[in-house]
Amino acid sequence: MTYALLSLAVLATLALVSVPTLRRLPFRPLALTALALVALTAVFDNVIVGLDIVAYDAAKISGLLVPVAPVEDFAYAIGAILLVPTVWTLLGRRKPGGGAQ
């Protein structure tokens, strides 16, 4: 199984679960957070791949690189973009002073 196929399966599942909740949230904060997360992923993934801290099996990646990190690496960021606000919303925000006593 390739990283792209595995990533696609996980992201499709996350999208099915997350999109109904995400549609109720304000777009601008989600979009700005997503943009920041993707930008940071691009920078730091390229650093760790470029320094050979992380390596990928060439037979299991698509070959599309941004510029040295495989494009499949962005699946983790996209997954977080979908999952974190969904979980945060579904679990509810904690009220100030509402912690355990």
Q: What is the pLDDT of residue 92?
A: 87
Render the burial of 47-86: b for 16+ CB within 10 Å, e for the rest.
eebeeeeeeeeeeebeeeeeeebbebbbbebbbebbeebb
Give the residue extent of every domain in the chain: 3-90
Each residue's pLDDT, cut to its tens digit, for the chain (101 residues) gives 899 999 999 999 999 999 999 999 999 999 999 999 999 999 999 999 999 999 999 999 999 999 999 999 999 999 999 999 999 999 986 666 655 54
Q: Which parts of 1-101 fold into alpha helices (H)?
A: 3-22, 27-50, 74-91
- State phi, psi for 41 to the nearest 5 degrees: -60, -45
pTM, to two decimals: 0.81
Structure tokens at 23: 């549609």
